[in-house]
Amino acid sequence: MDQTLLNLHTLGELKRVGYKVKPVRQEMRDNLLDRLRRREKVIPGVVGYEETVLPEIENGVLAGHHMVFLGERGQAKSRIIRSLALLLDEDVPAVKGCEVNDNPYEPICQRCKRMLAEKGDELEIAWIGREHRYAEKLATPDVSVADLIGEIDPIKVAEGRYLADEETIHYGLIPRTNRGIFAINELPDLTEKVQVGLFNLMEEKDVQIKGYKIRLPIDMIFVASANPEDYTSRGRIITPLKDRFDIQIRTHYPKTREHEIAIMEQEASYPASAGMALRVPQFMKELVAQITFEARASNEINQTSGVSVRVTINNFESVVSNAEKRAVICGENEIVPRLSDLHSLYASTAGKIELEYVGEDKKEEDLIERLINRAVLKIFDVYFKLDDANLKHVIGYFEQGWGVEVSDTAPASEYMEPIREIPALREAIDSIGPLETPGLMAAASEFIFEGLHLHQKLNKDREGGRFSYHA
């Protein structure tokens, strides 16, 4: 934006420079087209929607549509909606002191109309940023028409104004976001009365407040989010409001492990420890992501509410935390998560999944363990084949009566002797990738032992916090 415009303070000055106020739809459309020409990403920080969701958003903005995003929890709906505000101009002029961000050329509220008639080109203006033209509300049953649209202000009535005077109204959140974007999260949770008031405002631009009918020709894009289960005639949405949204955009979970990992790495907030390097093997990242994929495919979990990407993010943070704790206690200089750390994700997974059937024979811990085992098998099969010569030598070592112990509290140095002694184990580790540090080799050896166990090539016994693998 031209910074000299911010020095303009009256309507007359705006007119002299030829400034034109755009409708919000045109404003967003022009800014989107400008980004497309420059080949900039329209919604930053969103992964996996390039071929599905983003093109629909772009079409919706270009058409000036009200949009509703349908998807289960953890599908970046709120992030996308908030990012739409970046398509607004950085600053726009409004009548100074106006509650509804009135366009100084064509005000809609009675106060600003009167001031324009009185002052003309001397009407004072203020420049408002895009952050003041975006508002969102979480829909809950206690949200009222007064909250969203407005109500009669008894103090203004007591000052001598008539009830029929529009200036007695205390405007709600929607009018105060005039010339911007208003978002409602979990739209079907609004009561029917509020939904009726909302669709009247969206379509007819009028609304009743305490029995007094007024017109509010606000300039706004409405955006909403909802769970698909609720956004049906059998759910909690009224059909006329559903009809007022021009398009509905279906979001989805990442379709590939690569996308899930990219989101996990982008969103996981883990503070770096002084003097210790964080090294997470690729197979561990794939394993954490695959656990979430297994949960989304499980018929034991209620898929209506979904399995959020936050499961992957929080599980990754939990596993890294357990690895850091071990590194500190053992005096190591690197943090490397390994399979024996996976017990730490029970707590971060349990609160985010809903079992279809709950009872004495259905425990979350057992389900999570099954999900982990399925994930380990899938990822192990990506890296190894059971007829691999190196694995046959490893299995042969155990068949001679030898065994190996692992633990999430054992330092990586304890794994070095088995890696030296077990034939072809080092070669099997090298086949995974360049894993040269003790911590990375310890993680890889646990991965190999557990994969062979789940393929029924090794037995595993538990003794407290330690596990032993044997023939």
Question: In this structure, are 356 and 225 located in the same domain?
Answer: no
Question: In this structure, are 395 and 454 located in the same domain?
Answer: yes
pTM of the model: 0.87
8 Å CB contact between 95 and 105: no
Q: Whole-angstrom Cα distance, residue 204 to residue 240?
A: 12
8 Å CB contact between 98 and 109: yes
Question: In this structure, are 133 and 79 located in the same domain?
Answer: yes
Name the E strands within 2-133: 67-70, 91-95, 125-129
Question: In this structure, are 240 and 284 located in the same domain?
Answer: no
Whether 155 is in a domain gets the answer: no
Whether 275 is in a domain gets the answer: yes
The residues with which 278 forms a beta bridge, in sequence order, are 335
Question: In this structure, are 322 and 352 located in the same domain?
Answer: yes
Whether 380 is in a domain gets the answer: yes
The residues with which 135 forms a beta bridge, in sequence order, are 182
Q: Whole-angstrom Cα distance, residue 226 to residue 198?
A: 16
Find the CATH number of the domain harbouring 97.
Answer: 3.40.50.300
| Residues contacting 40, CB < 8 A, separation 6+ | none
- State residue 159's pLDDT score: 67
Q: Whole-angstrom Cα distance, residue 229 to residue 304?
A: 7
- State residue 238's pLDDT score: 86
Residue range of the domain that includes 294: 257-470
8 Å CB contact between 104 and 338: no
8 Å CB contact between 83 and 61: no
Helix (H, G, I), strand (E, B) or coil at 138: strand
Domains of the chain: total: 2
CA 35 vs CA 42, 43, 66, 87: distances in Å: 7, 10, 21, 9
- State residue 392's pLDDT score: 94
Question: In this structure, are 278 and 312 located in the same domain?
Answer: yes
Question: In this structure, are 229 and 272 located in the same domain?
Answer: no
- State residue 218's pLDDT score: 87
Instruction: With CA atoms as reference, report the closest residue to 365 among 351, 375, 379.
Output: 351
Question: In this structure, are 460 and 391 located in the same domain?
Answer: yes
- State residue 315's pLDDT score: 95
Averaged in consecutive runs of 10 residues, what is the pLDDT profile of the chain (471 residues)? Answer: 82 94 95 95 91 96 95 92 95 93 92 93 94 93 87 70 68 91 93 84 69 77 91 78 91 96 91 84 97 94 88 95 94 94 92 74 83 97 94 93 92 93 93 91 96 95 86 87
- State residue 157's pLDDT score: 63
